Amino acid sequence: MTFIRTAAVACLLCVVAACATPSTESATGPGRQAPPAATALPPQPPAPVATPVPNSVSQPAPVARVDVTPSAPAPATAPVAPKPQPAKPASKPEKPVATNAASAAAKPADSNKATGTSVSGKLELVAAGRDGIVPGELADGLVYFLPKSGMTRPKPGTFTVETRSKGFLPSVLVVPVGSTVRFPNRDSILHNVFSRTPGSTFDSGFYGPGQVKQQVFSKPGLVIVNCNVHHNMRADVVVLATPHFTRPDRNGRYSLSGLPAGAGTLVFWHPRAQAQSVAVTLPMQGAVTRKLSATKPSRHDTTTRR
């Protein structure tokens, strides 16, 4: 028994020794050195390959989203804008028709006012003293209309009366109330401009060649202007509170249009005569003629009057 056990142990030791011997040879042999080198290389390539893959995948995603978002609304708004325009032509013909109908209804009323509120006639002047009537002297006259109610106040302005050749030019001037009249000295001598008309008195004093004096006329009526240096100088400034006036022609014919309908007064005036008033109601038919008596002396220089 003892022998057998010893033999078994010895065999077992031989087997172990035999197995240990070939493993040592294969490890040290030249042909067996490749496997350990191959196992050392695989861990290096995964590291560089794994790093670029996630970066390259995440970058194109935002670029694609930005390009798609702005391009979508642009074509959507372009076709929508012109679509409501075709509907407008249908409503356009209706609007002008209503407007034209309203204006057509209003035009007859306006035209009736313009044509139905006009008056015309003639201003006549008869000599009552030594002086006769000078041809063209009727153009110095004035015809104006004063409505009984609803009169429009005229707009004031700036006018000029020159002192020239020891006289006033023009010698008759019609201005709206509140207007300013300039008096430039066009002579080479001194002049003076003053008035003693009640309610419109003023005195500019003496002023030389090239100088200008001016005066505001704020009260309606006739204002007689004279010169202290030359007593024969006279200018008639007629201040009116109505915009409805006219000057007759050389033969005395006149025409007033665009007058307000209703009752009022038609006034005829001339610097040589007393003014006359005629009550009228507009619109009216027929001419209105008035004959004035020339009781004041005539102004010899009729060529300088305006």
pLDDT for the residue numbered 85:
55
pLDDT score of 129: 76
Q: What angle do CA 205, 206, 212 make, to 5 degrees?
A: 90
Residue type, 208: G
Per-residue pLDDT at 119 exceeds 80: yes
Q: Which residue has the higher pLDDT, 284 or 90?
A: 284
Whether residue 156 is predicted with pLDDT greater than 60 in this model: the reply is yes
Strand ranges across the sheet with 245-246: 245-246, 142-147, 262-269, 276-282
| pLDDT tens digits, 41-90 | 444 444 444 444 344 334 444 444 444 344 444 444 444 445 555 555 44
Do you find a cis peptide bond into 86, omega within 30 degrees of 0? no
Which pLDDT belongs to residue 83? 54
- pLDDT given at position 278: 95
Nearest to 187 by CA among 166, 168, 205: 166
Lowest mean pLDDT among 151-165, 262-276, 289-303: 289-303
Percent of the chain with pLDDT over 70: 60
Count CA atoms within 13 Å of residue 287 on its CB side: 10
Portion of the chain with pLDDT greater than 90, in percent = 53
Q: Six-digit token pair at 51?
A: 């790093």
Mean predicted confidence (pLDDT) in 212-232: 95
Question: For 288-303, how does the pLDDT look when each residue is reduced to its tens digit (9 = 90+)?
Answer: 999 999 998 887 554 4
Check whether 249 has a pLDDT greater than 50.
yes
Flag whether pLDDT at 175 surpasses 90.
yes
Long-range pairs, 271-274, Cβ under 8 A, ≥24: 271/140, 271/171, 271/172, 271/236, 271/296, 271/299, 272/125, 272/137, 272/140, 272/296, 272/297, 272/298, 273/125
Q: Would you state the structure tokens that stand for residue 114, as one six-digit string? A: 């313009």
- Rounded to the nearest integer, the mean pLDDT of the chain is 74
pTM of the model: 0.60
Q: Phi and psi at residue 235, in whole multiples of 5°?
A: -135, 135
Confidence of residue 132 (pLDDT cuts 50, 70, 90): confident
CA distance 71 to 158: 67
Higher pLDDT residue, 35 or 282? 282
Over residues 110-133, mean pLDDT = 75
